[in-house]
Homo-oligomer: A and B are copies of this chain.
Amino acid sequence: MKEGADLLRIVGYQVQRAGMLMVMDARATLAPHEISPAKMTALILIRDNPGSDQTALGKALGVNRSSAMKLVNFLADRNLIERRPGRDLRTNALHLTPDGERQVSAILADLRVSDERMTAALTADEVKTLVALLRKLGRPAMNGGRQSL
């Protein structure tokens, strides 16, 4: 099936479709570790932001509190992370366990293999450009702070 002129021009479709292909490969690659790409992302975010609470994790992942709960439960049940007392009595401070630290490195190695396979058609410069452009999406246009009409 061919993508017509409209689909070729809708950036959201192109981004979403490429993302789907990348995630499908990542999912298959991570399957032996019994962890999904989204859960691996959560694990990495907790590692890089130790002491964060569940609500902040959810916001970073684009899901709500109760969905974040499920991710945290999954990771905690597998002893990859633990809930420690947070800044007040309502909040949990999320941290990787020693076992989590060890496993995240191993899984990350496999994830990088998948990522490099899927980006093999791009030069290093192209990858840099791609990521820079992706990170501009969903943000207001830059025009020196002046108000546009």
Residues of A within 8 A of B (CB): 1-4, 6-8, 10-26, 37, 41, 44-45, 47-49, 52, 56-57, 59-60, 62, 108, 111-112, 114-115, 118-122, 126-127, 129-131, 133-142
Contact = CB atoms under 8 A, between A and B. Distances in A.
Contact of A15 (B2, B15, B56, B111): B15
B41 A13 contact: yes
Contacts of A127: 11
Q: How many copies does the complex hold?
A: 2
Given A15-B19, A37-B12, A122 B136 contact: yes
5 interchain residue pairs of minimum CB distance: A4-B48, A12-B22, A19-B19, A1-B60, A21-B138
A108 B7 CA distance: 10
Contacts of A57: 1
A22 B60 contact: no
A126 B133 contact: yes
Contacts of A2: 48-49
B119 A1 contact: no
A120 B133 contact: no
Contact of A118 (B12, B59, B122): B12
Nearest to A41: B13
A122 B143 CA distance: 11
